[in-house]
């Protein structure tokens, strides 16, 4: 049976109400401290608790601090998942994912974090707000899994040109995973339509 764990803060309530059409979905959320300063549940704690429940997938809304380390460790161990975070571009999101785990403590360094991000994150979808106020996908970037001198290699799959999302030259890593699930990756990417 597929178990999906979603973890978020009360600020992200629309995300918390994520409707997954599966019978086993566990939603967890953070809690602000009360007036006496007690009772706080930071995002890192439900992320760790969600991982203890042995989920099939994990979804974390707005990664902002050291909980990114726990998410990366889970993703690196083969657990499929996704998260949201705020950044100005897909590449800046990758840099942020390399920076946030460093907040977990002095024993965590870039020598561990950068290759972990490179190997455990496959795609980054950047959503921006257009002049009319609507959210639109601005770019989709693949991480082939390589890092050199602390910089993670990226490849544009889709990018925005003249206000339109268009196919770029990049290709997602692990095409075998798409095929295993019955997806025709060239058809999904619109191969042939953009020639």
Pairing state between β 123-129 and 135-142? antiparallel
Please tell me the distance from the alpha carbon of residue 60 to that of residue 52, in angstroms, as a whole number.
Answer: 15
Tell me the whole-structure pTM to 2 decimals: 0.83
What is the structure's pLDDT at 2? 64
Tokens of 18: 């994520």
Residues facing 141 on adjacent strands = 124, 156
CB neighbour list of residue 21: distance below 8 Å, 6 or more residues apart: none
Percent of the chain with pLDDT over 70: 88
Q: What is the average per-residue pLDDT within 10-29?
A: 66
Query: What digits encode the pLDDT tens for the residues 84-114?
Result: 999 999 999 999 999 999 999 899 999 999 9
Q: What is the average per-residue pLDDT within 50-54?
A: 82
Query: What digits encode the pLDDT tens for the residues 130-162?
Result: 889 999 999 999 999 999 999 999 999 999 999
Average pLDDT, the chain: 85
- 60 and 67 in contact (C-beta within 8 Å)? yes
């Amino acid at each position: 049976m597929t178990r999906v764990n979603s973890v978020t803060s009360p600020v992200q309530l629309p995300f918390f109400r994520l409707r997954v059409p599966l019978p086993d979905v566990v939603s967890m959320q953070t809690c602000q401290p009360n007036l006496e300063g007690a009772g706080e549940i930071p995002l890192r704690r439900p992320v760790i608790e969600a991982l203890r429940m042995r989920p099939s997938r994990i979804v974390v809304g707005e990664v902002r601090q050291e909980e990114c380390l726990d998410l990366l460790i889970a993703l690196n161990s083969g657990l499929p998942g996704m998260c949201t975070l705020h950044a100005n571009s897909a590449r800046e999101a990758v840099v942020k994912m390399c920076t946030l785990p460093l907040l977990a403590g002095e024993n965590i360094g870039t020598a561990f974090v950068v290759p972990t991000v490179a190997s455990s994150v496959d795609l980054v979808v950047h959503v921006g707000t257009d002049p009319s106020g609507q959210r639109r996908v601005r770019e989709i970037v693949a991480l082939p899994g390589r890092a050199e001198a602390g910089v993670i290699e990226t490849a544009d799959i889709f990018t925005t040109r003249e206000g339109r999302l268009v196919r770029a030259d990049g290709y997602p890593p692990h095409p075998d995973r798409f095929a295993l699930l019955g997806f025709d990756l060239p058809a999904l990417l619109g191969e042939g339509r953009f020639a």
